[in-house]
A and B are shown apart, each in its own frame.
Chain A
Amino acid sequence: MARPPLRFRPRPDAFGWDAGRFRRRPALTARASGGAGVAATTMARKKVRPRLIAELARRVRALREQRERPRDSQLYALDYETLTRPHSGRRLPARAWADARRESRLLQLLARLPLFGLGRLVTRKSWLWQHDEPCYWRLTRVRPDYTAQNLDHGKAWGVLTFKGKTEAEAREIEHVMYHDWRLVPKHEEAAFAAFTPGMEDRPRPVPYPPLLRAMILAQRRKSGDTSAEEPLLNLERTRADPWDYPAQQEAKGRARGTAV
């Protein structure tokens, strides 16, 4: 006997057609007399019952996921012998092994400071090696992860100064869990942040090639523009951010573990 697939769960009224057809026929004929369109809608759409228990179960599961979500201290814990993350079982990339042993995470530095280092300057060793101009974050808000034993994980917000240019607003600091951070001592802050913007050679605008110049002048004559100035080509480059400019942390989704 061919059993129906389990996807299809026979409802009490699925075979009601057999059981109650003697009762249903007058009703059907009444409906059929209504019109062909009505018959089509009753055939296409079944009445959807509100599944309350499933909704309740969904909400309970969401609440439990929220309550038992892995905290930063679990997500970003690192075994320093094998350089693997116990949470995801993944190993750090080879270029990060030396840094993970030598440098510290941001909150590891901030846990030793009063008020978690509000208002202090922090830099990254990769910025120090890559750029000559000062790049640093000035901290405005710190939220440590209280489940960590040494309070050395968490989130921080601050104002970025990258290659001497300061941003206008504070935002969340990216790569807080990377072993890359250094704290600028207070007596060296002035010397570290001092930046004189170098003379940028603005390339002067140059005249167009002859054919293009002729085309532009013809266009001008056609549109009735009688200005006699020479059309000039602007040679300024489009400023693109360097590859290690910190991205918007808020734009990234909730941490579901690490990529590495």
Chain B
Amino acid sequence: MAAPMVRRWLLLAGKVTLPHLLQAGRRGLLSAAYVNNHKWEAREKEHCHLADLASLMDQTYERKLPVSSLTISRFVDNVSSREEIDHAEYYLYKFRHSPNCWYLRDWTIHTWIRQCLKYGAEDKALYTLINKVQYGIFPDNFTFNLLMDSFIKKENYKDALSVVFEIMMQEAFEAPSTQLLSLYVLYHCLEKKTDFSWEEERNFGASLLLPGLKQKNSVGLSSQLYGYALLGKVELQHGLRAVYHNMPLIWKPGYLDRALQVMEKVASSPEEGKLCREALDVLDGVLQTLVSPAEGASEKQSQESEDNQGSENLVEQLDIEEPEQSKLPQYLERFKTSQSKLQALDRVESKSLLTLTTQLVKEKLPACEAEDLAAYEQKLQQWHQDLTQLIQREREQRERAKQEHQARKAAKTAA
């Protein structure tokens, strides 16, 4: 009897130690100093009983009175287990559908994501992020970086990609660290899989374009080109509305034209920027697919035009003076001339985009991290000040309400 017990103990010990060994090898892109939560844990927080807060919120909602942002921030601060994360999610939903929904604080959102990561509920964090309309979760760049890094560490690139698409929807590519991390994730996913649905292509195009516009180097320029190429493909195959509807993109036609303008700008500018061969090949492939099966696709398109899309496409085509389809031969010519010019000027980078991005990340990320950490510390102090102000205001309001109540009671007993 002892032997099976010992064996079971050994098995359990083995099970416990093995994952540690496996995880010791995996590293995210961000440094440990960025990811650790010492500063966040060290902040002063009020210790409240969650059940009291929950019953208070339920009573307030029943009486149809507004719940203050302080209550929900206290609730999320004091979450201490996985079940309580589900409760917090429910109360976040209720808060979003209450009159004070605009006042959900930054620190509450940051704390929510941190708590989800702490108690292993990354899928819950991702779910609330994707349904941001229902939960009101709009993290800042620091929180986005933390979330993406946790997914990169687990090599869950699919979820990291969803996070990048959410950043794109919120147009939150302000910080260079976010731009670098998202470009890394995007190129990683593009390398693995090549056939996408048109919605995924459109999302990829927009997510490559937005950080590419901010980065002033060859990775940035190539990302712009790649993004414009994908968006141009969707524009010509599914119409302009398919590109800009519910996306942070402009409704002016001519995405392929803009891709070619990027190429011409790089060819004619005296700076060092180069374009990747990968991106140029992608644009070439897009132009070929759009031009060559034009005869075969035109029959398909005429069939489609008899379906629902017919009237919509007609409306769009009436707007556009010259339909993009007719400009394709010109685009091909322009592409060929620009490509030959770039090769003559030796502005074509032959390394793959993923290697370039990894290199850039290694070079630039530590500096960006230092900036981000300094900004984060300042933000923590600002949040602390705001929190103390809110608590003071709540205390004053309570005292005032108590005094009024007492005055009213005294008046009633006197009368």
**Residue A115 lies at the interface, judged by CB distance under 8 Å to chain B:** yes
- CA–CA, A90 and B9, complex, Å: 73
**Residue A98 lies at the interface, judged by CB distance under 8 Å to chain B:** yes
B250 and A151 contact, CB distance less than 8 A: no
The interface size of chain B toward A, counting residues with CB under 8 Å, comes to 28
- CA–CA, A150 and B248, complex, Å: 19
Chain A contacts for B102, CB-based, 8 A: 115-116, 142-144
**Residue A182 lies at the interface, judged by CB distance under 8 Å to chain B:** yes
Interface of A is mostly: mixed
CB-CB nearest in chain B for A125: B251
A112 and B250 contact, CB distance less than 8 A: no
Chain A contacts for B246, CB-based, 8 A: 104, 112
B138 and A114 contact, CB distance less than 8 A: yes
Chain B contacts for A111, CB-based, 8 A: 133
Interface of B is mostly: helix
A86-136: which have CB < 8 Å to B? 98, 102, 104, 111-116, 128-129
Chain A contacts for B249, CB-based, 8 A: 185
Chain B residues at the A interface, C-beta cutoff of 8 Å: 96-99, 101-102, 132-134, 138, 169-172, 210, 213, 241, 244-246, 248-251, 311-312, 315, 319
**Residue A241 lies at the interface, judged by CB distance under 8 Å to chain B:** no
- CA–CA, A149 and B96, complex, Å: 10
Chain A residues at the B interface, C-beta cutoff of 8 Å: 98, 102, 104, 111-116, 128-129, 142-144, 146-147, 150-151, 182-188, 192
CB-CB nearest in chain A for B166: A112
Chain B contacts for A115, CB-based, 8 A: 102, 138
CB-CB nearest in chain B for A151: B133
Which of A113, A144, A183, A185 gathers the greatest number of chain B CB atoms within 10 Å?
A: A185
- CA–CA, A182 and B248, complex, Å: 10
Chain A contacts for B250, CB-based, 8 A: 184-185, 188, 192
CB-CB nearest in chain B for A185: B248
How far, in Å, is B352 (CB) from chain A's closest CB?
26
How far, in Å, is A132 (CB) from chain B's closest CB?
13
B171 and A112 contact, CB distance less than 8 A: no
How far, in Å, is B290 (CB) from chain A's closest CB?
24
Chain B contacts for A184, CB-based, 8 A: 250
How far, in Å, is A143 (CB) from chain B's closest CB?
8
- CA–CA, A114 and B174, complex, Å: 14
Chain A contacts for B213, CB-based, 8 A: 187
9 A-B pairs closest in CB distance: A114-B138, A185-B248, A188-B250, A186-B171, A111-B133, A146-B99, A146-B97, A187-B213, A146-B98
